[in-house]
Amino acid sequence: AEAAGSGDLALVIGHGADEVRKATQKFAPKAETFVQDKRLGTAHAVLAARDAISNGYDDILVMFGDTPLIDPA
């Protein structure tokens, strides 16, 4: 996301949250993480990040964790 020119980054994580958080710190140390405790769908995942949205995130891209690598070019 940063390589594509995005500013702040917020991630919603669930299963394996600790491992995902550690991996994220390697490429996006300033990323905020939010935990979705129960898998209740995409809208529920977005709701888990409502604090980021209320803090001024105005451009939101929702991607699934199993989405293949997308090159920023």
For the stretch 13-68, pLDDT in tens is 888 888 888 888 888 888 888 899 888 888 888 898 888 888 776 677 777 776 66
Q: Could you tell me the residue ranges of all domains in the chain?
A: 10-54
pLDDT at 23: 86
CA dist 61 and 8 (Å) reads 12
Query: Is residue 1 very low, low, confident or very high in pLDDT (cuts 50, 70, 90)?
Result: low
The predicted model scores a pTM of 0.69
pLDDT band at 71 (very low <50, low <70, confident <90, very high): low
Structure-model confidence comparison of residues 7 and 30, the more confident one: 30
